[in-house]
């Protein structure tokens, strides 16, 4: 599982830094080997494990032993957390773009991402501005994310 995490993390870092692209390629090769039910022959998983355990041993020896013993299950936990947080971030960005609120169309609570719009009146992309008419009806004006 560390190869999947490495591919996601180093794939993103590789966009900005060429030094991480080789690690992303190794992670991709390791995932391809795992898909074929073959062992990872790049040694990436062993290097990542050794690096993490070595840094943990510097902090506290018992932490290093714990990490060495439970590295596999901890990798699964962190992979699930990475995918879940990515999904929730995408969902919040989608709701902000489509509904004008990062919690969904019927939410009354304020969005923590409202500060990103710099005070612009955020309205749904596909919705209409119903607050601009005195009767609260349809105004027929299509609005975008930044109110345009």
Tokens matching residue 1: 């599982």
Buried b (16+ CB within 10 A) or exposed e, 81-94: eeeeeeeeeeebee
- In whole angstroms, how far apart are CA 125 and each of 91, 96, 138, 142? 15, 9, 15, 8
Query: pLDDT (tens digit, 9 = 90+) per residue, 74-102?
Result: 999 999 999 999 999 999 888 888 887 88
Q: pLDDT of 37-86, one tens digit each?
A: 888 788 888 898 999 999 999 999 999 999 999 998 999 999 999 999 99
pTM of the model: 0.65
Give Cβ neighbours of residue 82 (< 8 Å, ≥ 6 apart). 5, 8
What phi and psi values does residue 97 have, to the nearest 5 degrees? -75, -40
Tokens 């919690």: give the residue. 103
Gap between the Cα atoms of 53 and 71, Å rounded = 9
Q: Where are the domains of the chain?
A: 2-100
């Amino acid at each position: 599982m560390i190869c999947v995490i490495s591919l996601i993390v180093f794939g993103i870092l590789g966009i900005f830094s060429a030094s991480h692209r080789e690690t992303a390629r190794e992670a991709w090769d390791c995932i391809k080997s795992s898909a074929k039910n073959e062992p990872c022959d790049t040694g990436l998983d062993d290097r990542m494990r050794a690096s993490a355990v070595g840094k943990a041993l510097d902090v506290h020896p018992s932490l290093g032993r714990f990490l060495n013993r439970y590295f596999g299950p901890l990798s699964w936990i962190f992979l699930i957390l990475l995918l879940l947080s990515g999904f929730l971030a995408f969902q919040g960005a989608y709701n902000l773009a489509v509904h004008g609120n990062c919690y969904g169309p019927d939410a009354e609570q304020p969005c923590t991402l409202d500060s990103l719009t710099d005070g612009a009146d955020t309205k749904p992309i596909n919705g209409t501005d119903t607050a601009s008419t005195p009767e609260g009806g349809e105004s027929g004006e299509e609005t975008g994310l930044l109110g345009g």
